[in-house]
Amino acid sequence: MTINHPLTDVGSHRADQSGARRVTNPPNMERQVHKACGDINAALNEALEALGRLSHSPVDAFGVARVQTALYRAREANYLLGQMVGTPIERRLPWAYYRARLQDKALRHFSLHANSGRQATEGHRSRSNRPKRRIA
C-alpha cells in the first residue's frame, strides 16, 4: 500500500484517481462572509490591544486616540455586518438600519471618553463650574 501525499507526490496521486471525480458542495457564500467578519474582528481587536499597550508621550496621545477611535468604529461596523449576514435573507434589515446603530454607538463612545471615562450624572457639576471659595 502506498500513501500519496498531495503536496509531494501530486502526479501519482492524480494518476491513481484518474476516473474518480470528487464531488463537493460549493461553499455557502454568506457563511464565508460571516467567517471573514470574524477574522477581521479578531485582527481589529489585536490592533486595539497593541495600541493600548504602547506608552506614548502626551504629544502622540491625540494621534493614538484618533487611531483607536477609527479601529473602534471599524470593529463595530464589522460586528454589525456579521449580524446582518447572520440573519436570514427574508428577515434581514437594510444596511442603513445597522449604520444608524453604528452611529449611535459611536456617539455614546465619544461622549463617554470626552468625560474622562465616565458619564456625567444629573445634578453633577464639573469642577470648572463650581463657585469659587472666598477666603475672608
Rg (CA), the chain: 27
The answer to the question of residue 67 being in a domain is: yes
Number of domains composing the chain: 1
User: At a CB cut-off of 8 Å and minimum separation 6, what does 119 contact?
Assistant: 111, 112
pLDDT digits (tens, 9 = 90+) for 38-59: 888 888 888 888 777 776 666 6
Which residue range(s) make up the domain with 52? 29-114
Q: Are 37 and 82 in contact (CB under 8 A)?
A: yes
CB-neighbour burial class of residue 94 (10 A; exposed 0-12, middle 13-18, buried 19+): exposed
d(CA 80, CA 98): 6
The answer to the question of residue 71 being in a domain is: yes
The answer to the question of residue 8 being in a domain is: no
The answer to the question of residue 101 being in a domain is: yes
pTM of the complete model beyond 0.75: no
Per residue of the chain (136 residues), give pLDDT as tens: 444 444 444 444 455 555 566 777 776 766 777 777 888 888 888 888 877 777 666 667 777 777 888 888 888 888 888 888 888 888 888 888 888 888 777 666 655 555 544 444 444 444 444 455 556 5
The answer to the question of residue 75 being in a domain is: yes
